[in-house]
Structure 1
C-alpha cells in the first residue's frame, strides 16, 4: 500500500432517507433538484423508492452539488436541524423513551451503526472534568463533504436530544475537529450548546449534572422494547456479514484499546472458534480486520490531526514508536512523518466554500 492510500470505503454507508431530506431542503430553497441528483447519478423516482443505503462516493457527489447549487456552506446544519425524530428510526424511539440524558447517549453509542456506518459513537468518561464524552470516530474519508457531513450528524443529534429533554440544556458542549469557518455564527442556533473549534476529535461533552436530566417521554417498558428491536437489527447486520460487524466494533473501540479474539467473540455473542470459522467463511480473519482498523485510524490521525507520532502510536496500542515506524512501512511503504508530509497539503484543506478544515494541535 502506498502513502496515497485512502481510508477503507464501505459500499453502503448512508440511509437514503437523508438524501430525500436533502432533496426536500433544495426544493424549499427553490433549487432545481434534477441536475443536483444527476450529478450524483441519482434519479428522483428511484431515490423515493429504493431503500438500499447510498455509497460514500454517491453521497459525496450529491453533497458537493447541493452546496454549490445553494451557495450555503452551512447546508449540513440546515439539514440536520430539520431532521425529524422519525427519521432516526428505532434509534429515535429508543432515545425518546429513555429515562435520562445519560441513557440517550448510551443509545447513540450502542446503536448508531444501525442507521449510519460512516461514524461510530463511543462513550468515554473524563473523570477529572466530571464529564461524559460521546466521541465520534469517523470511519470514512468524506473529502469535500466532510464539514457538511459532520454538521448534519451533530445538528441531527442535538435536535434529537432536544426532543427527548424538551430543551438543549446548559452543560452540553461540542468539540469540533475543524477550524472555525467564516460563518461560525450559524452554530449559535444550538445555544446554549457551546462549540470548541479546532479540537482533536469530534465529541459531545455532557457535564455530570445534566446526565440525570429526565426525558419527557420516559417509558421504561417502551424503551426496553425499542432497545430489543435495535439489538435485533444489530444481529441482522451481523448475520448478513459478520466481518462487517466485527469491523464496526473495532472502529468504535476507545483509543489505545483493541479487544482480543476472545473478547471480540464475547461481544458478538459467539465462541472464539465459531467467530474464526464464520469469518473464514467470508474470506476474512480477525487479525486482518484488526490490522485494517489500525491502519484506518493511523491514516486518519496522521492526515487530519497534528498529534505527536508517539501519541498516534499509543492510540493504536503500540507503545514502541520504533515498532510503529516499522509497522507503518509495512502498511504504507513509508514512515509516519513521510506520510504526514506527503498528504497534509492535499487532504487537510477544507472543501466547503469558506470552510477551513485545518486541525489544531492537541491541547492539554
Structure 2
C-alpha cells in the first residue's frame, strides 16, 4: 500500500522547533550564525515562538547539521540534546495531558503545529501501540538525521512523564548501520532496519497510565491556543479556521461574528458566502463547537454544568441546558452519568 504524502506548496514548520534545534546544535559546539546563514534564515524569523518558517529552510538546516556533526549517527546525538520547552504550545500541551492516550490524541490533532514535514499515525497491533512517522521526501539526504532526532526526542520527553515507560521495538527505513550501540543506548529495545516505516512500539497498557505532569486547567487554556494557531495555518479550510477561532473566543464569552470575520480579514458577508461554499454556516459551526466542547467537559472533567455553560459563552445556564437537550436528548447530568468519569463536585 502506498503511503505517499502530498507536500503543500506552503509547507512550514514551527519557529519554536527550529529554535530548539539551533539551541541543541550550539550546545554541541556548532556556530549558530553559520547555521542560520547556510539555511537562509535570520533571527527575526525566529523571534515569535508561534511563527512559522519554510519547511525547505529547516530541511537545509538538517542537511547542514548532518555534514557538520562528527558522530556515527548525528540524529541520535541531536535528539538527546533537544529540550521540549522551546517547542512552545504543542510540547506543553502534550506534557500536561492527563494520560498518554490523551497526549497521543492531542499529538494527532495538533501535529501540524510542530511542522508539515511528515505525518504521525497511531495504530494498535495486538498488545502494542505503534507510533509511525511517514516523512515528506523519505529519500532526501536530511530525512535520516531529522527523523532520528525526532524519534529520540519522543523517547527522551516521554520517559520522565510516564511510570513504567519502555519500548517494545523500534524500526527504521534505512539499512542497519555497522555500529548499533548508539541505537541501543537510546531505544533499549529490539531494533528493525530496512522497514516500511519509522516507528516505535509501546505496550498498549501504557495508554491509560497518568502522566506525572497532568494539569487539566492548563490543558484547557493550551487547547484553546492550539486551536487558534491551527486555524491560522494557511492550508486549513475556512471552516477549520473558524472553528479554531470560535474555540478561542468562547473562553471570553459569547463569540462575536464581526470580530471573527475581521480576524480572518473578511467582511461578515464574505465570511457567510465562503462558509456556504464549504457547505456550512457560522451558526452551525458555533453550535457544533459548543456541543463538542460541552461533551468533552462532561466526559473528561468534573466542572459543574453551570460553569461549563459560562465557559461556552452562554449568559445563562438554562440556555445551555436547553441547547444540550436538543443536541443529545439528555440533560448535562444524564450525559455525564452515562459517559463521564465521575460526578461533578
TM-score for both structures, normalised by structure 1: 0.57
Cα offset, 1:96, TM superposition: 1.8
Checking the alignment, whether the CA contact within 8 Å between 1:237 and 1:245 is kept in structure 2 is no
Checking the alignment, whether the CA contact within 8 Å between 1:179 and 1:198 is kept in structure 2 is yes
Distance 1:119 1:219 in 2: 29
Q: Residues 103 and 10 (structure 1 numbering): CA distance in 2 closer, same or farther, change over 3 Å? A: same
Task: Provide the secondary structure at the position in 2 that maps to 1:125.
Answer: strand
Does 2:242 match 1:242?
no
Checking the alignment, whether the CA contact within 8 Å between 1:164 and 1:215 is kept in structure 2 is yes
Q: Relative to structure 2, which stretch is displaced further, 141-150 or 7-16?
A: 7-16
Q: Match of 1:107?
A: 106
Counting only pairs closer than 5 Å after superposition, residues 2-21 of structure 1 correspond to structure 2 as 8=7, 10-21=9-20
Q: Match of 1:90?
A: 89
Q: Residues 98 and 172 (structure 1 numbering): CA distance in 2 closer, same or farther, change over 3 Å? A: farther
2:210 to 201, 210, 214: 214
Q: Match of 2:309?
A: none
Residue-by-residue CA offset, 1:174-223 (whole Å, 9 max, x unaligned): 23222222343212232434432222112232222222222112233333
Q: Match of 2:197?
A: 201
Residue-by-residue CA offset, 1:84-122 (whole Å, 9 max, x unaligned): 232232222222222222222222112111121112222
Cα offset, 1:79, TM superposition: 2.5
Does 2:174 match 1:178?
yes
Does 2:273 match 1:277?
no
Distance 2:64 2:73 in 1: 14
Distance 1:132 1:142 in 2: 26
Distance 2:48 2:216 in 1: 34
Checking the alignment, whether the CA contact within 8 Å between 1:13 and 1:118 is kept in structure 2 is yes
Checking the alignment, whether the CA contact within 8 Å between 1:56 and 1:142 is kept in structure 2 is no
Distance 1:26 1:91 in 2: 21
Q: For the pair shown, which has the larger CA radius of gyration, 1 or 2?
A: 2
Residue-by-residue CA offset, 1:44-83 (whole Å, 9 max, x unaligned): x445536643323322322222222223352222322222
Distance 2:129 2:195 in 1: 16
Task: Provide the secondary structure at the position in 2 that maps to 1:144.
Answer: coil
Distance 1:70 1:135 in 2: 26
- Structure 2: tracts of 5 or more residues without a match: 242-272, 280-345
Residue-by-residue CA offset, 1:265-318 (whole Å, 9 max, x unaligned): xxxxxxxx9668359xxxxxxxxxxxxxxxxxxxxxxxxxxxxxxxxxxxxxxx
Checking the alignment, whether the CA contact within 8 Å between 1:9 and 1:56 is kept in structure 2 is no
Distance 2:196 2:238 in 1: 29
Task: Provide the secondary structure at the position in 2 that maps to 1:30.
Answer: coil
Please, what is the CA RMSD of the aligned residues? 3.4
Distance 1:86 1:190 in 2: 20
Cα offset, 1:155, TM superposition: 1.5
Task: Provide the secondary structure at the position in 1 that maps to 2:201.
Answer: strand
- Structure 1: tracts of 5 or more residues without a match: 1-5, 247-272, 280-364
Checking the alignment, whether the CA contact within 8 Å between 1:36 and 1:69 is kept in structure 2 is no
Q: Match of 1:223?
A: 219
Q: Relative to structure 2, which stretch is displaced further, 229-238 or 90-99?
A: 229-238
Q: Residues 175 and 106 (structure 1 numbering): CA distance in 2 closer, same or farther, change over 3 Å? A: farther
Q: Match of 1:49?
A: 47
Q: Match of 1:61?
A: 60
Task: Provide the secondary structure at the position in 1 that maps to 2:53.
Answer: coil
Q: Which has the higher contact order (CA 8 A, sep 6+)?
A: 1
Distance 2:70 2:239 in 1: 37
Q: Match of 2:323?
A: none
Figure out how many residues of one structure are paired with residues of the other and give that number.
244
Q: Match of 1:151?
A: 148
Q: Relative to structure 2, which stretch is displaced further, 27-36 or 207-216?
A: 27-36
Q: Residues 46 and 221 (structure 1 numbering): CA distance in 2 closer, same or farther, change over 3 Å? A: closer
Checking the alignment, whether the CA contact within 8 Å between 1:7 and 1:141 is kept in structure 2 is no
Q: Match of 1:80?
A: 79
Does 2:158 match 1:161?
yes
Checking the alignment, whether the CA contact within 8 Å between 1:10 and 1:56 is kept in structure 2 is no
